[in-house]
Structure 1
Amino acid sequence: MLPHAPSLNWDLGRTGGTVMLRMPLHPVAIELLREVGPMAVTSANKSGQPPAATAQEAVEQFGDLVSIYLDGGPSKDLVPSTIVDLTGDEPLVLREGAVSIAAVREALGTEVRSAR
């Protein structure tokens, strides 16, 4: 999570002035990003709901709230994303998921706290 730049003119809904950046590992998603550049997308689930493992499950949760669904086949790995808050003085891991706290610490080159 980072403060969003004032020049970001995308309608991201109620973000509290922050954005989250996500890098997918799925080859279809990576190829799409290569073609179109950064995109504003939602998580694969509504808050408090289990992650959608298929495009149909995502449709069942979001329906017409999402304009386009990218169906790259069923998800084999439902490990959640790691969420790191970079809005304060020190990085804070809000949720440890696919990327460990140790890996975040190594990538940032600084101490990282956990919210837990």
Structure 2
Amino acid sequence: MNILIPIFASLVVLPVAYADHPEHGDHASVVQKAATETVSTSGTVKQIDKENGALVIAHEAVPALQWPAMTMPFKATAEQLTQVEVGEKVDFEFSTEGVASIVSIGEAD
């Protein structure tokens, strides 16, 4: 019975000791930071989807996110949908939090 007391005590102390380990303690904040990043790129508007509030853009590679060049939809505001035309080359900034959403968009330089 006396041997069980130190064993049970160590079971309570070990999780607390590892929880504050500096190498592993805050991975969630790193993931959250990456998830809320905004990124700038260029592309060509392929479709304006007013019904779903989206712009389909063929964009360049995005090295910061390790994305290759591709064509994909970006959530856009009603105002942003009216600022561009199909076939227009644009520079834009988008948020990677949840669904990729356009933060700002304009004619490419």
Shorter-chain TM band = under 0.3
After TM superposition, the score normalised by the length of structure 2 is 0.22
Comparing both structures, which one devotes a greater share of its residues to strand?
A: 2
After TM superposition, the score normalised by the length of structure 1 is 0.22
More RCO (CA 8 Å, sep 6+): 2
